[in-house]
Amino acid sequence: MKLLKKPLTWLASVALCLPTLAIAGLINPAPYQCFDGSVTPGCVADSPFAGKNFNYFYLENFEDHQLNTPGISASAGGVTSVVYGPRIHDSVDADDGVLDGNGLAGDSYFSWSGKDGITFSFDANELGALPTHVGIVWTDGLGATFFEAFDSADVSLGSIGPVNIATRGHAGQTDEDRFFGITNPNGISSIFISNAVGGIEVDHLQYGYVAQPVVPVSEPSFIFLFGIGLICLFRLVKRF
């Protein structure tokens, strides 16, 4: 039968007949001063996740000098105060309690190789489910910055960049800080962030899970969808 001679084409065509149930969404780089502007006076650039209802949510700001929120691991680097030293940190502005355009008094996460970047991976077993919302704030580095996220099968959900957001200053300036994010109802297994030159510094790794409502399919709806499937299959058989 000719239909069986082109299985990949057949499967791709059938997939086009099925409805899309979930779509991942990238969140383009945005200025970032604090997590929640509603509780931080003067903060006008906060997280798009602030104030949302999550089944679980974690914000890792590294202010305890550790990466220790549940279900997360990093491929490279460490907390800046530990791997780099007590000076020249580029934390999110509000982490030291003062919005003054400087992040030297806070802590962050640093890796010596910006071009190799950092992958943050999530453990579904520890968390109970992969996060549906993930974000991170890039705070320092040189060259263009790149961000990418991956689903539960390690397939790319999309990428941002390379984008030129870096400035030449390395004294804690926060005007270049940018939030990168991703949402995916089916879960996010990891994110990757890099910059082309020098080291890389990031902060406010945040991730949460929103359970997707189960929408029952009524009998008429099922019959309708089944009918569409049969029509698509009939057309494919005629075509091949």
| CATH number for the domain harbouring residue 186 | 2.60.120
The token duo for 236 is: 């494919």
Please, what's the b/e burial string for 87-114 (b: 16 or more CB within 10 A of its CB; e: otherwise)? eebbbbbbbbeebeebbeebbbbbbeeb
Q: Is residue 71 part of a domain?
A: yes
Q: Is residue 238 part of a domain?
A: no
The token duo for 143 is: 């060259």
Task: Give 6-63 pLDDT, tens digit per residue.
Answer: 544 444 444 444 444 568 899 999 999 999 999 999 999 999 999 999 999 999 999 9
Phi/psi of residue 148, each to 5°?
-145, 150
Q: Is residue 124 part of a domain?
A: yes
Could you tell me how many helices (H) and strands (E) the chain has, helices first?
Answer: 4, 10
Q: Is residue 6 part of a domain?
A: no
**Taking residues 142-164, what's their average pLDDT?**
98
Percent of the chain at pLDDT > 70 equals 79
Q: Is residue 222 part of a domain?
A: no
237 vs 240: CA distance, rounded Å: 5
User: Is residue 11 helix, strand or coil?
Assistant: helix
Domain count of the fold of the chain: 1
**Taking residues 142-156, what's their average pLDDT?**
98
Radius of gyration of the chain from its Cα atoms, rounded to whole angstroms? 22
User: Is residue 177 helix, strand or coil?
Assistant: coil
Q: Is residue 229 part of a domain?
A: no
Whether 119 contacts 111, CB under 8 Å: no
Q: List strand residue ranges (DSSP E) for the chain, in order.
A: 25-31, 56-60, 72-74, 78-79, 109-111, 118-122, 133-150, 156-163, 178-183, 190-209
33 vs 103: CA distance, rounded Å: 10
Q: Is residue 64 part of a domain?
A: yes
**Taking residues 145-170, what's their average pLDDT?**
94
Q: Is residue 40 part of a domain?
A: yes
User: Is residue 207 helix, strand or coil?
Assistant: strand
Amino acid at 32: Y
**Taking residues 178-206, what's their average pLDDT?**
98
Domain with 65, as residue range(s), is 24-211
